[in-house]
Each structure stands twice: as structure tokens, then as C-alpha cells.
């Protein structure tokens, strides 16, 4: 795996470039750097969701979020080294398994869900939207450079997971799920 920082104020990026894990330097506007930044932002959003606290339940959301943060660091490592693969297919399978369990606990949707409800559910929706952006940037990058199918699949599934997690968090807090009101008149 590439270089690890031992100091943070390296000053090597002052000219608008950054180092990749393979030792090469690219512009901070490079699509690969954008993808790495969005994945990093997503990891921070997940960290905030964990800090807000999620209920201890049969779905083990706290441990799941910790695993997701590790996966996102793996994905960041993969992105930092062109042609390198680090995120494993088993991680997508794990997200699918959690989604199956969680969806079984939820009522069928009859309307679009408005982001909100509890603070944790609202943050799960923030994670979902940041994840969708990271996915779009990753797809853009994949049109220019080789990116693993697993990385794209993982982010796609992860955004679904955050939507379902928001619903579960509201349900566990006995918070009515905010729904779109098509008939509202202002």
C-alpha cells in the first residue's frame, strides 16, 4: 500500500497537487482526487451518525456503521492507487444481507419519504445523499480510468442501506415517517 503520512502539515500540496498512494502527484482537481474526497466526506458523515448514537437492536447498526467506515477507508485506499483493488465483493454481500433483514421489519412504502424524523434518521439521509454524490463521481471517474465494479456496486448498495436505515431509526424511535403530501395546498 502506498505512503502513509507521518506529519500533516507537509506543505507538498501548496502548488495545487496531491500525492497518490503510488507516489505519483496529480492536480487536486483530478477526478480521482474528487472521488477520494467524496468518499472521505461520506466517511465523516457516517462518523457523525455513529456519534449521534443508534439503538442497540437485532440489526446491530452500531457495528455495521463501524464496518462501513472501515470499508470506506478501504475504498479510499483503492482510489488512491490507480489499478489497485482493495474492497472485497463480500462487503457488498454483507450490505445485501443487512438490507434483507432490515426491509423485513418495515412496512411497505405508499409514498415518497421526506428526509427527517429523528436526528439520527435525518443524518442517515445525509449519508445517503453524500453517498449518491460519491457514486456519481466514481462513475464519472470509471469512464476515464479503470475502477473496480465492486467499488461502484458497493456505493450503490450503501446509499440504499442508508435510506433503509433512516426508516428503521424512525421506526425504532416510534417516530412517524415524514411522507410527501401530494395534496397539500399552500
Residue 7: which pLDDT band, with cuts at 50, 70 and 90?
low
> Which residues, other chains included, contact 87 with Cβ-Cβ below 8 Å and sequence gap of 6+?
71, 74, 75, 78, 148, 150, 151, 154
Q: Which domains does the chain have, with CATH numbers?
A: 26-98+114-172 (1.20.1200.10)
Q: How far apart (Å, rounded) are the C-alpha atoms in residues 155 and 152? A: 5
> 179 pLDDT exceeds 90?
no
Q: Which of 25-29, 114-118, 134-138, 150-154 has the lowest mean pLDDT?
A: 25-29
- pTM greater than 0.85 (yes/no): yes
Q: What is the pLDDT of residue 25?
A: 86
> Cell 412517524 maps to which residue?
176
Counting residues of the chain whose pLDDT is more than 90, the rounded percentage is: 70
Residue 14: which pLDDT band, with cuts at 50, 70 and 90?
low
> 154 pLDDT exceeds 90?
yes
Q: What is the pLDDT of residue 22?
A: 81
**156 or 178, which is more confident?**
156
Q: What is the pLDDT of residue 173?
A: 93
Residue 12: which pLDDT band, with cuts at 50, 70 and 90?
low
Which residues face 25 on adjacent strands?
19
Mean pLDDT computed over 3-32: 70
> Cα angle vertex 90, ends 130, 1, to 5°?
75
Q: What is the pLDDT of residues 33-82, one digit of tens each?
A: 999 999 999 999 999 999 998 887 878 999 999 999 999 999 999 999 98
> 5 pLDDT exceeds 70?
no
Amino acid at each position: 500500500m502506498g505512503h502513509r503520512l507521518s506529519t500533516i502539515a507537509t506543505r507538498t500540496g501548496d502548488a495545487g497537487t496531491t500525492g497518490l498512494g503510488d507516489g505519483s502527484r496529480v492536480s487536486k482537481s483530478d477526478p480521482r482526487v474528487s472521488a477520494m474526497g467524496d468518499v472521505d466526506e461520506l466517511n465523516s458523515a457516517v462518523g457523525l451518525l455513529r456519534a449521534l448514537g443508534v439503538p442497540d437492536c437485532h440489526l446491530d447498526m452500531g457495528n455495521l456503521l463501524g464496518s462501513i467506515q472501515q470499508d470506506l477507508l478501504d475504498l479510499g485506499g483503492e482510489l488512491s492507487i490507480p489499478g489497485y483493488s482493495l474492497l472485497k465483493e463480500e462487503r457488498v454481500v454483507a450490505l445485501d444481507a443487512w438490507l434483507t433483514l432490515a426491509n423485513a421489519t418495515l412496512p411497505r412504502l405508499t409514498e415518497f419519504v421526506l428526509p427527517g424524523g429523528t436526528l439520527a434518521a435525518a443524518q442517515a439521509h445525509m449519508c445517503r445523499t453524500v453517498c449518491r454524490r460519491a457514486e456519481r463521481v466514481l462513475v464519472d471517474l470509471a469512464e476515464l480510468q479503470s475502477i473496480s465494479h465492486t467499488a461502484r456496486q458497493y456505493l450503490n448498495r450503501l446509499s440504499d442501506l442508508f435510506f433503509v436505515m433512516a426508516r428503521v431509526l424512525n421506526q425504532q424511535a416510534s417516530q412517524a415517517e415524514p411522507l410527501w403530501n401530494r395534496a397539500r395546498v399552500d
